[in-house]
Chain A
Amino acid sequence: DAGVIQSPRHEVTEMGQEVTLRCKPISGHNSLFWYRQTMMRGLELLIYFNNNVPIDDSGMPEDRFSAKMPNASFSTLKIQPSEPRDSAVYFCASSLVDRGGNIQYFGAGTRLSVL
């Protein structure tokens, strides 16, 4: 399998612009996670989807952030409007979540810079 695929790998944008990050999970996995990594806050879970349904979005910073999973093979994380403090590495991960102890497999990440 190709693993979790994220695009783009790097994104540079100006404050106020809309940013869309994309993720293709591993085929057969039923769960998808979006994380943000910063030096100050480490790895933070933003949102968790199970069977394409958002289950836990308590980590989404504010209304400027939204995530969708229209089908089992694709998810997007959108930031509109973007701000410099959104600069971070955003990871997507997928897993087969059943009773517990699921292993999350991470994509290569998208490094976002908002100027």
Chain B
Amino acid sequence: AQKVTQAQTEISVVEKEDVTLDCVYETRDTTYYLFWYKQPPSGELVFLIRRNSFDEQNEISGRYSWNFQKSTSSFNFTITASQVVDSAVYFCALIEGTYKYIFGTGTRLKVLA
């Protein structure tokens, strides 16, 4: 069965520290997609990134970067120079078939001033 594991339940860092959120997935599909979403305290789910299984290039967007490694079935998310506004719950997800998301349990990130 397909599965997404976010082993870190909660992480606390001090502002300006770098932090990495781990995501490990299981799938039997050869073609698949992975996602990261952010859920700030206001509650909405905000799409951050989509990555397909054929593209192992790391991606950087401002202070955010993602490291996709098929060899270890991981899709980790790093925030550089964290800020208080980064405080949120972050979800990793894998798509099953054409539409069904399998979400991880989320990692709560607290960035302290």
Contact = CB atoms under 8 A, between A and B. Distances in A.
Interface of A: 31, 33, 42-43, 45, 48, 50, 55-56, 89, 91, 93, 95, 97-109, 111
Contacts, number: 55
Contact of B99 (A95, A105, A111): A95
Interface residues of B, number: 22
Interface string B82-95: 00000000010001
Contacts of B31: 100
Interface of B: 31, 33, 35, 37, 42-47, 50, 52, 91, 95, 97-101, 103, 105-106
A100 B45 CA distance: 20
- Interface of A, helix, strand, loop or mixed by DSSP: strand
A60 B45 CA distance: 21
A10 B65 CA distance: 34
Nearest to B100: A45
Contact of A45 (B46, B101, B105): B101
